Each structure stands twice: as C-alpha cells, then as structure tokens.
Amino acid sequence: MSVQQTTLGQVRTRQAGMTFLSRISTEAVLMLGAIIMVMPFLWMLSTAFKTPAEILSWPPRLIPGSPTLDNFATVFTTAPFDRWLLNSLILATTSTVAILLTSAIAGYVLAKFDFPGRYALFMIILATAIVPFEVYMLPLYLSARRLGLINTLPGIIAPFLIMSFGIFFIRQNVIASIPDDLIEAGRIDGASELWIFGRVIMPLLTGPLSALGIFAFMQAWNQFVWPSLITNSKNLYTAEVGLALFQTGFTVNFGAVSAGSVVSVAPILIVFFLLRKQIIEGVALSGLKG
C-alpha cells in the first residue's frame, strides 16, 4: 500500500514539474519566434536613425549610438516621397469606397433577390475570383492604354474598384443576419427598394463593412505590380513603387533606404496598431470562408 502511494505521489510531482517546465519552454519558444518576426522591423527602424559611419561599423548595434534625422531629410529632399504617399492614400481611399459600395449593393441583391440570371451572375463572380491578377494584367494594361489611362491616377485605381471576396462576404452576412421580414415590413410600409437598402440594410451592415473596409484599404496600399506597370512618371508613383525604385539609386546608402521604408510602411502600421483586434479577427473569419 505504502509503496503504491509513494509512486503515485512521485508521478504527481513529476507531472507538476513537467507542466511547469513545458510552460516555461513554451513561453520561451513563443517569445523567441516573436522576436525573430519583429527583428527586421527593429533593424530597419534602427538603421533609419544611424549615421553612415555607424551603419557600416562592425559589429552592428541595434540601438543607434548618436541618433540622427539626416536619413529622413535625405528621403524627402531627394525624392517626392510626400507625393508618393499622397498617391497611395488616394489609391487606397478610392478603392476602399468603391469596394464598399459595390460589395454592399451586390452582396445584398444576390442574397435577398430572386431574379432571372442571379445564378449566372454569381458563377461569373466566383469564377473570376479564382483567376490571379497576374494572369490577366497584360490585356488589362492594353485596355488602359487604349483608353489613355497610362500614367493617370484613374488608371492606377481602376483594377481595384471591386473585390469578389467582398461581395461574397457581404452576401454571407446579409443571409446570416438580416431577416426577410424586415425587408417585407419596409415594402408594406410603401418604402422604395433603394430606401430600404440605404436606410434599413446599410446601417445593419456597419460591422462587416468596416472589416471589409480595413482589408480593402490595406490591399490597395500594398499593391505593387500594377502601379509599377502603369506608371513611368515619378509624380505618379505610389509609395511602394517609389520606394522600390528609390532604393536602386541608393544601394550603399542603407540609412536613406531604411528611412524611406519606415516612412512608407508607417501609415499601414498605424492602421494595424489602431485596429489590431478587428484585423486579426477579420482574417480569422475571412480565411475560413475563403
């Protein structure tokens, strides 16, 4: 009896020790991984504030010895970075507004209206959603050229006016959260369809629409391939394109390149830190709906 009790006790102690040990090691692995994930950002930030001499000094240090703003001055005096940021902002804002409008109306109509051609339209949106942008960007470029949209802001923005996923996302939300009776009640009261959409439906969709809006904004801000194809005049570059070409002229000036990176990434990171919870939850939601 007593022998058995000791063993049980020993097992329990060992288990408690194990859980404590595994908890500590789990924490250590997570922390180490997380530090590796943010290291490139810290490095970029630190380099942006270093003097040229310190950047090239060996061994490198994470905290700048004598912080300087010279690199940021170089960025704004040698390149129209303010203009590039403005272009990115115009692209992202216009794209977001357009995607919200088109997704809301199309998502609502596809969810609540039964009309001839509904299924065909749904299939068109689904089928084109699978095709990556890179596959059809050449003909898109040719169309833009024919319409005289090369080197114009509308040309940069045009491909980002709709988002297939946005339409599906709103459609799902309407189906899940808006009862038919609500729409019927409006109709019985004699309200027009447009009024019902604008005054009854839209206010109920603020949650999903703001999640979608954050995505649309970040997606547009991060675009690179299309803006780089359709622009060749410095004043029309977005922050992404401008930075990519800016760095080719400053191969050895890591300070200026890092400062430029910090400037172009700052707006999107501010949005991320302000809306961190919604963004991560949004990905969790959308990813599973694919």
Partner 1 sequence: MQKTSLKLTPLNRRRWLFAYLALTPVLAIYIFIRIIPIIQTFRISFYKWDLISKRKPFLGFANYIGLLQDRAFLISLTNTTIIAFGILFFSVPISLLIAVLLSKPRKLSPLYETMYFLPVVTSMVPATLAWKWILDAQYGPLNQFIGYFGFSPQPWLVNPKLAVFSVILLSSWKIIGYNMIIFLVGIRNIPSMYYEAAEIDGASILQQFWNITLPLLKPILLFVSVITVISSYNVYTQVYVLASDAQGSPGYVVRVLVYDMIENGFRYFRMGYASAEAVYLLIIVLILTMIQFTFLRNRS
Residues 119-138 contacting partner 1, CB under 8 A = 121, 124-125, 128, 130-138
Determine the size of the site formed for partner 1 (CB under 8 A). 96
Q: How far is the CB of 145 from partner 1 (least distance, A)?
A: 9
Sole window of 68-76, 77-85, 203-211, 235-243 interacting with partner 1 (rule: CB under 8 A): 235-243
Q: Of 90, 36, 69, nearest to 267 (Cα)? A: 90
Can residue 193 be called a binding residue for partner 1 (CB under 8 A)? yes
Count the helices and strands in the chain (H runs, E runs). 16, 0
Site string for partner 1, 63-92 (x = CB under 8 A): ------------------------------
Is 2 or 59 the residue whose CB approaches partner 1 more closely? 59
63 burial via Cβ count (<10 Å: 0-12, 13-18, 19+): exposed
Q: Of 269, 288, 281, nearest to 211 (Cα)? A: 281
Sole window of 1-9, 43-51, 72-80, 201-209 interacting with partner 1 (rule: CB under 8 A): 43-51
Q: How far is the CB of 87 from partner 1 (least distance, A)?
A: 14
Can residue 27 be called a binding residue for partner 1 (CB under 8 A)? yes
Q: Could you say which of 9, 17, 40, 65 contacts partner 1 (CB under 8 A)?
A: 40
- The amino acid occupying position 288 is L
Distance of alpha carbon 5 from alpha carbon 44, whole angstroms: 59
Extract the tokens encoding 265: 């990434």
Q: Of 214, 183, 181, nearest to 197 (Cα)? A: 183
Q: Could you say which of 115, 188, 189, 233 contacts partner 1 (CB under 8 A)?
A: 115
Can residue 143 be called a binding residue for partner 1 (CB under 8 A)? yes
Can residue 114 be called a binding residue for partner 1 (CB under 8 A)? yes
Sign of the dihedral defined by the CA atoms of residues 243, 246, 250, 253, in that order? negative
* DSSP line for 242-290: HHHHHHHTTSS-HHHHHHHHHHHHHHHHHHHHHSHHHHHHHHHHHHHH-
Q: Could you say which of 86, 149, 153, 161 contacts partner 1 (CB under 8 A)?
A: 161
Q: Could you say which of 89, 90, 97, 109 contacts partner 1 (CB under 8 A)?
A: 109
Q: How far is the CB of 277 from partner 1 (least distance, A)?
A: 8
Structural contact between residues 213 and 282, judged by C-beta atoms closer than 8 angstroms: no
Q: How far is the CB of 48 from partner 1 (least distance, A)?
A: 10
